[in-house]
Amino acid sequence: MILKKHKASITGVHGYVPDYILTNKELETLVDTSDEWIVTRTGIKERRILKGDMKGTSILGVECVKGLLEKTNTDPKEIDLIICATVTPDMLFPSTSNLIADKIGATNSYGFDISAACSGFIYALATGSQFIEAGTHNKVIVIGADKMSSIIDYEERKNCVLFGDGGGAVLLEPSEDETGIQDYLLKSDGSGGDMLCLKAGGSLRPASTETIKNKEHYIYQEGSSVFKFAVTNMADISEEIMNKNKLKSDDISYLVPHQANKRIIDATAKRMGVGPEKVLLNIEKYGNTTAGTIPLCLWDFENKFKKGDNLILAAFGGGFTWGSLYLKWSYNN
């Protein structure tokens, strides 16, 4: 018997950011920086921070999924699979997806995490879509969430201004029409791994007094080098997916870019030939939430989308990893 092939549709999206707002003004009191520098170099005005002890990324994921289940009227027991993209898992193992599944009562699902830094959500969405398209899974939840404040040194100005905590989740189901995920391109280049990484805490350099003294449990980034790779690769891969699918600028309804730096986003939009009215931005409110930025953007702008709208998602991040995904939005609000 030949199974009827279905595309994977996003049938709901929900996001979550913690209440605490860390403004550029407050950062001025912590490190030698200024609101003017941060806004002109990055576009960020404030970011959210998950305060309190014993609160990991799973808390962000749980809040996203609870809202998603309520909104889509889905019983947690109906969920087949949960994929969580994150570089700040609660622990190295068990996976954060398993912790989330337990906390939301998804007792019939299994799950795993994906580590692809800022491209994590696109990687996870592409992965989740395979299970739907294969016809073996009916309800897949894809989460992108990061508690970046857990790996940030708030005494060092280069990185602390860039990142925040937050996440979002989508429900994937078989499409009833031709809407849904149409295509994606995923790439990686491990030779760039050293330029943006967490040096210690893994099997190579387990935690020790030395790694703590050297501050190796905080994010390390060669900002201007990463910037150059990000500008080129995010623009290239966005143009490539348009060409591959014979999409002209006018065919694009919205660009949903990873929110690392407004200048990287502007360069991508320029290469695609799309005007600012089509570029979804919320970097000023949340900063870079790593795997959280794209689902948070889908959530913030959900009311704009109409069924059939062509969306291009694009990201670049640590690894290096990068990718783009073309989807036709599947519902009206």
The smaller minimum CB distance to ligand ACO, of residues 133 and 146, is found at 146
Question: Is 288 in the active site?
Answer: yes
The smaller minimum CB distance to ligand ACO, of residues 9 and 289, is found at 289
The smaller minimum CB distance to ligand ACO, of residues 104 and 185, is found at 185
- Interface residues with ligand ACO (CB under 6 A) are 33, 37, 41-42, 117-118, 157-158, 161, 196, 223-224, 226-227, 230, 260-261, 264, 288, 290, 316-318
CB of 306 to ligand ACO, least distance (A): 30
Which residue of the set 14, 24, 98, 118 is catalytic? Answer: 118
Question: Is 282 in the active site?
Answer: no
Distances (CA, A) of 75 to 78, 131, 146, 188, 274: 6, 19, 25, 36, 39
CB of 230 to ligand ACO, least distance (A): 4
End-to-end CA distance of the chain: 37
Q: Which residue is nearest to ligand ACO (CB)?
A: 317
* CA atoms of 51 and 47, how far apart (whole Å): 13
Which residue of the set 159, 261, 282, 288 is catalytic? Answer: 288
Handedness of CA 277, 279, 283, 286 (dihedral sign): positive
Main-chain dihedrals φ then ψ at residue 41, nearest 5 degrees: -80, -25
Question: Is 258 in the active site?
Answer: yes
The smaller minimum CB distance to ligand ACO, of residues 108 and 221, is found at 221
Residue found by looking up tokens 């790593």 in the block: 290
Distances (CA, A) of 177 to 74, 136, 173, 276, 333: 21, 18, 12, 30, 17
CB of 232 to ligand ACO, least distance (A): 12
* CA atoms of 234 and 239, how far apart (whole Å): 9
The encoded tokens of residue 90 equal 């609660």
Contacts 24+ apart (CB under 8 A), 190-195: 190/319, 190/320, 192/226, 192/229, 192/319, 192/320, 193/318, 193/319, 193/320, 195/221, 195/222, 195/225, 195/226, 195/229, 195/320
CB of 14 to ligand ACO, least distance (A): 23
9 three-state secondary structure: strand
* CA atoms of 309 and 329, how far apart (whole Å): 5
Please, which residues bridge with residue 9 across strands? Answer: 173
The encoded tokens of residue 193 equal 């791994």
The smaller minimum CB distance to ligand ACO, of residues 101 and 161, is found at 161
CB of 240 to ligand ACO, least distance (A): 19
Which residue of the set 84, 159, 233, 258 is catalytic? Answer: 258
Give the H/E segment covering residue 141. Answer: strand 140-147
CB of 50 to ligand ACO, least distance (A): 17
The smaller minimum CB distance to ligand ACO, of residues 154 and 331, is found at 154
Residues with active-site annotation: 118, 258, 288
